[in-house]
Structure 1
Amino acid sequence: MIEVIKGTFIIVGALFMLLASLGILRLPDLLTRMHATTKAAALGVILVMLAVAMHFAEVGVVARAFAIITFILMTAPVAAHVIGRAGYFVGSKLWSGTVKDELKPNYDPLTHELKSGLETEANAARQPKNTDKP
């Protein structure tokens, strides 16, 4: 029974990694490609590492497999965020079907400064309101 579980983990993990590679080829822009590869590839690697830990069932190998899983879980989202942010800052074109660009009102492309949403709301609150009635 354990052989079936290990085989299933390896096959499903490999399928997720294949799905990630197809996402790179098929998706329209950097942000959607990055999202697909980060999620699918991380899950694929985690499943394969679980199969490795089950197969060898030695303390050293299991510890290394779980260290790899922890490393992937901690670094994949951070790396995706950094890549996406860098792509946005250098002017990577968004997909034409993108509905909302939440960074646009907060990002100054000349100085490359990004203001937080709280700063933008505070500045908007300080602006005098037009009370003239027509």
Structure 2
Amino acid sequence: MNVNNQIELVAVLLILLGTIFSFLSAVGLIRLPDVYTRSHAASKSATMGVLFTLVGTFVFFIIEGIFSIRLFLGIFFVFLTAPVASHVIVRSAYRSKVALTKESVQDDLKEILEKEKRKQ
């Protein structure tokens, strides 16, 4: 097995791993009970799924001798923006008083926001 075949195998495994993460994200969106836990599933596993898929594609094209700046920038911006966007969405849902599920046992942000209100 030569070096190119080994690198192709790595690329295929990365893309497969990205597919598995994306599938787990879809399962999490269906199975989890509230917006906060669903957002966690969507942000973490979907981001990892997209990143592994793009990195696998990037590695494959590097083997072919093509450096794709678009793929590189896509990896960078997904890694940078997806967690931040998820955090902002969940924070706005919390401030809009979207209820937590009954199974939630801890609400750390409630105490902090109450302290802020008392200061004002």
TM-score (norm 1): 0.74
For 2:50 and 2:108, the matched residues in 1 are separated by: 31
1:3 is displaced (CA, Å) by: 2.0
Aligned residue number for residue 128 of structure 1: none
Provide the rounded CA distance (Å) in 1 between the counterparts of 2:80 and 2:92: 19
Listed as ranges, the gaps of 5+ residues in structure 2 are 1-5
User: Are positions 1:42 and 2:47 aligned together?
Assistant: yes
Asked whether 1:69 is paired with 2:72, we answer no
Aligned to 1:92: 98
Give, in whole Å, the separation in 1 of the partners of 2:97 and 2:20. Answer: 32
Which among 35, 38, 45 is matched to residue 30 of structure 1?
Answer: 35
Matched with 1:53 is 58
Identity of aligned residues (%): 35
CA RMSD for the aligned pairs? 2.0
Name the residue aligned to 2:87: 81
Q: Look up the equivalent residue of 1:34 and give its one-letter code.
A: S
**Count of aligned pairs:** 111
| Distance (Å, rounded) in 2 between the aligned partners of 1:64 and 1:6 | 17
Larger radius of gyration: 1
What letter matches 2:85 in structure 1?
A
Give 1:84 deviation, angstroms. Answer: 0.3
Cα distance per residue 1:28-69 (max 9 Å; x no partner): 11111101110101111111111111112212x1x2222111
Q: Do structure 1's residue 18 and structure 2's residue 5 form an aligned pair?
A: no
Structure 1 unmatched runs, 5+: 109-113, 124-134
Q: Relative to total residues, which structure has the larger helix share, 1 or 2?
A: 2
